[in-house]
Structure 1
Amino acid sequence: MTNPKITIIVAPRERFQFARESLESLYENTTLPFELIYIDNNSPEGLRSHLKAQVPRHDFQLIRSEHYLSPNQARNLGLQHVKTPYVVFVDNDVVFAPDWLSNLVDCAEETGATVVGSLVCQYRPVHETIHCAGGTYMAPEMYTAFARGELNPSGTLGMMGGWQLQEKTPFQNQPLAEVCDRIPRQPTGFVEFHTMLVRTAIFDRIGPLDEGFCCTKEYLDFCMMVTRAGGQIYLEPTSVVTFLTHPPAPALEPSDVPYFMLRWSDQWELSNLLHFQKKWNLKESSYFQKRYQKLGQRRRKALVKPIAKRFAFLGKPAKKWIENQLFQLEKQLNQILTNLHSNAVAMAEPHALGRALGIDADFSTLPSSSRKTRRNVSSIGSSWR
């Protein structure tokens, strides 16, 4: 058998509860030869043992981090081991339709695209409701100027002014069966990291993924970098996948709570959004203002509302008051937790807080630098041949 030309990197998204199903779906629905690098992001003991047991069965490279990584940190960790012409980023909560991978590769080779994304669905039943079929993030004239490398919409060399972010995702929430004939293979402004094929050579030009994007819009940043480097981005609608944690997602399992809280912490999201604006000289639009005002809403919906709902018998005003009080308490706890991940005490006793809460997990995370990241991981198994 010839050596595979594709390496798949499975990275964490926000929880672990769908990781087994996702890995099984990957092998069941992928016929094209590939190497697999799986980033075990300080997963709970049950999943950790399961992944170790799968290594001899499927012969893949399992890289364990003893501390939580952001998605881009995990992807960069995997990239260090890629030697194939193509790399495919996959989230750990995705299930796959047959031929998803071969259709991505066919698109790349027939179009010369630098990046190719799947048509991503959401919810169960799987592969029925569209989440992302490509999209745009600037008005056409502005996008043309941006792609040419101009520093701002006026076309001057100064940084005065700013790009207006206008993200649009066509066909979102529509039934795939009703609109599939209206979604051709086509160039697009962006695709998402749920499943994304990339020509590995592009990283020699643009460098690794930006770890300043620790929780949101990392796919948009990467597509913007590819566009500025002269690359093409395509949507391949015959490659269909579904991610299982689109809000309102199923209830969190207890072992998912620590990483979920860090992944969507106020601190991570705020620093991420500020970095996004500064890096690309983006205007302070209503999009950013709303995001700043709604920090913590994912945690509120997933963690606070289910508790407050138990007090519905007291009436709506009382339940709302309880929810607001709980949310303020959660915000204070979240600040403590996100500070602990970089605290020397937390690094010395990484599982202390998880044990205190009766949760098999670690609230700490790796320092942001790749140098320190490499020191805190171990590799188990080998690449699939």
Structure 2
Amino acid sequence: MSNSPVTIVVVPRERYQFARESLESLYENTAFPFNLVYVDNNSPTQLQQYLSVQAELKDFKLIRSNRYLSPNEARNVGLSFVDTKYVVFVDNDVIFAPNWLTALVDCSETTDATVVGSLVCQYQPFHEIVHCAGGEYFSAKASIEFAAGKPQPSDRSRWLLEEKTPYQNQRIDAVCDRLKRATTGFVEFHSMLVRTEIFKEIGILDEKFCCTKEYLDFCMSVTRAGGTIYLEPNSVVTFRTHPPAPTMNWSDLPYFMLRWSDAWELGNLRHFQQKWNLEESKYFQRRYKKLGTRRREALIDPLMAKFSFLGKQQQKWFKKRLIKLEKRLNRYLTNRYAKASDRPLDLDSSQGKKSWQANVRAVPNQLTTNN
């Protein structure tokens, strides 16, 4: 481990099949010195063995959980081992462009930003199509009122979520003249630098955000605490699992099914509404009606492609029954996970802000580390 001011925390996003490619890309494209904490989230045996070897060769801290963690749970575990000025959260399916980390650190050092996000891309070839270049979640007026600490907007009883992500799905070379270092409402956890000291103010990441909108919750908390959030377009990464993603490995299926389960998504969205006093807008109504979309895109749609010889009505009938069967299977797997796990890592992020590290380290029986 180096004396760098930066610790990178790698956590799984939704699967493991790109973890090796991502780790190799990290070391090939990162010139700025860094410490690495890698959270191995109950990965398949082959990847577990690979990570163990790499941790010894490259001298990084490897933490393995013997049960599946949500992304925020995994980030909190990694965060508990961070004692540097900055922590950089990245997912295990990210491919990095050269000097991505140097640009993030330079932005924070120059602007005193609390949070800095990379320009996140999607699809192949890498680093060409915009996925997230920052964004806003409220109207301009509501954003000002929210940052000022008002419990509700002046013109309604609840906040209206209006998430907007500029330039999404556009080519970087078509919008590069408009991509500037600037403040923004949110950035995403695919690649995010954070001043570690902010966690003393806001506590650890909220683990009730187990599968969606955790980046909004975190950025909203930072804003309420008086922090600033920047997009740094000179830091470019691409994540590998934007739908339609490559065919999934069978060994990744259990975690994927849990990660995007109806139960996790429903509980997550309801908590988001309640925590931030959000209207049940068309956005939430649509999400509630379409629970399981990620699973259908990754599992059922590819299967249906093999039955293209069927007529339209037959395909429709068959797909409905596959969806019904998959939902039953998902409910069974989720319930089995809940019964098998005593949830020892179910931390309360509202506990005393100064104890955020101790909260995670109190459960060593569920974790193993390489040193």
Q: CA deviation at 1:307?
A: 2.0
Take 1:11 and 1:2, find their aligned partners in 2: how far apart are those partners? 20
The correspondence of residues 88-107 of structure 1 with structure 2, limited to 5 A, is 88-107=88-107
Aligned residue identity for 2:367: V
Question: How many Å apart are 1:301 and its aligned residue?
Answer: 1.3
CA RMSD of aligned residues (A): 1.6
Q: Provide the residue aligned with 1:368 in structure 2.
A: 346
Q: Which whole-Å CA distance do the structure 1 matches of 2:121 and 2:43 have between them?
A: 25
**Per-residue deviation, residues 75-123 of structure 1 (Å, max 9, x unmatched):** 0001111000000000000000000001000000000000000000000
Distance (whole Å) between structure 2 residues aligned to residue 109 and residue 311 of structure 1: 55
Task: Give 2:235's match in structure 1, choosing from 236, 239, 243.
Answer: 239
User: Quick one: distance in 2 between partners of 1:313 and 1:368?
Assistant: 48
Counterpart of 1:122 in structure 2 is 122
> How big is the shift at 1:367?
5.1
1:77, 1:374 within 8 Å by CA — same for their partners in 2? no
Given the alignment of the two structures, is residue 342 of structure 1 paired with residue 338 of structure 2, yes or no?
A: yes
Deviates more, 1:225-234 or 1:320-329: 320-329
Give the conservation status (yes or no) of the 8 Å contact 1:309–1:319.
no
Look up the equivalent residue of 1:368 and give its one-letter code: D
Corresponding residue for 2:247? Answer: 251
- Structure 2: 5+ residue runs without aligned partners? 348-358
Number of aligned positions between the proteins: 359
The corresponding residue for 2:369 is 379
Report if the CA contact (8 A) 1:341-1:365 is conserved. Answer: no
Q: 1:282 to 1:135 in 2, by over 3 A?
A: same
Matching residue of 1:46: 46
- Residue 280 of structure 2 corresponds to 284
Hey, what does 1:360 align to over in structure 2? none
Counterpart of 2:188 in structure 1 is 192
Counterpart in the other structure of 1:151: 151
| 1:116 aligned partner, one-letter code | V
- Percent identical: 62
| 1:215 counterpart SS class | coil
CA 1:317–1:366 in structure 2 vs 1: closer, same or farther (change >3 Å)?
A: farther
Are 2:158 and 1:162 equivalent residues in the alignment? yes
The answer to whether the 8 Å contact 1:67/1:365 transfers is no
- The aligned residue for residue 59 of structure 1 is 59
Q: Of the candidates 274, 285, 297, which is equivalent to residue 301 of structure 1? A: 297
Q: Which moved more, 1:12-21 or 1:364-373?
A: 364-373
Cα deviation, residue 153, structure 1:
0.3
Residue of structure 2 equivalent to 1:11: 11
SS in 2 for 1:311: coil
1:314 alignment partner, SS class: coil
* 1: CA distance, partners of 2:364 / 2:261: 24
Cα separation, 1, equivalents of 2:363 and 2:246 = 31
Indicate if the aligned counterparts of 1:29 and 1:97 stay in contact, CA closer than 8 A: yes
Instruction: Name the structure 2 match of 1:357.
Output: none
Secondary structure, in 3 states, of the residue corresponding to 1:341?
helix
Change (3 A) 1:246 1:2: closer
Any idea what the Cα deviations from partners look like across 1:28-60, whole Å, max 9, x if unmatched?
A: 000111100000000001100100110121100
CA–CA distance in structure 2, aligned partners of residues 24 and 303 of structure 1: 28
Provide the C-alpha distance between the structure 2 equivalents of 1:375 and 1:204, rounded to a whole number of angstroms. 25
Instruction: List gaps (5 residues or longer) in structure 1.
Output: 348-363
- Whether the 8 Å contact between 1:308 and 1:320 is mirrored in structure 2 is no
Whether the 8 Å contact between 2:76 and 2:204 is mirrored in structure 1 is yes
The normalised TM-score by structure 2 is 0.94
Q: Return the alpha-carbon distance in structure 2 between the equivalents of residues 374 and 54 of structure 1.
A: 22
Which residue is equivalent to 2:73? 73
State the match for 1:351 in structure 2: none
Is residue 95–residue 242 contact of structure 1 (8 Å, CA) maintained in 2? yes
Residues 58, 374 of structure 1: alpha-carbon distance in 2 compared, 3 angstrom cutoff: same
Read off the aligned partner of 1:32 and give its amino acid letter. F
Report the 3-state secondary structure (helix = DSSP H, G, I; strand = E; otherwise coil) of the residue aligned with 1:312: coil
Query: Deviations 1:323-364 (Å, cap 9, x if unpaired)?
Result: 110110110110111111121xx35xxxxxxxxxxxxxxxx9
- Paired with 1:256 and 1:171, the residues of 2 have a C-alpha distance of 31
**1:2 positional shift:** 7.2
Alpha-carbon distance, 1:368 to partner: 2.1
How many Å separate the matches in 1 of 2:140 and 2:170?
24
Q: Give deviations 1:215-253, integer Å, cap 9, x for gaps.
A: 000000000000000000000000000001000111111
Q: Does structure 2 retain, via aligned residues, the 8 Å contact 1:13–1:92?
A: yes
AA aligned to 2:204 is P
CA distance in 2, matches of 1:16, 1:318: 35
Asked if residue 322 in structure 1 is aligned to residue 323 in structure 2, the reply is no
Shift in CA distance, 58/260, structure 1 to aligned 2, threshold 3 Å: same
Q: Secondary structure at the match of 1:303?
A: helix
CA–CA distance in 2 between the matches of 1:21 and 1:180?
27
Shift of 1:309: 2.4
Alignment CA distance shift 1:18-1:373 (3 Å): farther
Deviation at 1:308, TM superposition (A): 2.5
State the match for 1:361 in structure 2. none
Alignment TM-score, normalising by the size of structure 1: 0.91
Q: Is the 8 A contact 2:2 2:34 kept in 1?
A: no
1:365 is displaced (CA, Å) by 7.3
Shift in Å, 1:375: 2.8
What is the aligned partner in structure 1 of residue 351 from structure 2? none
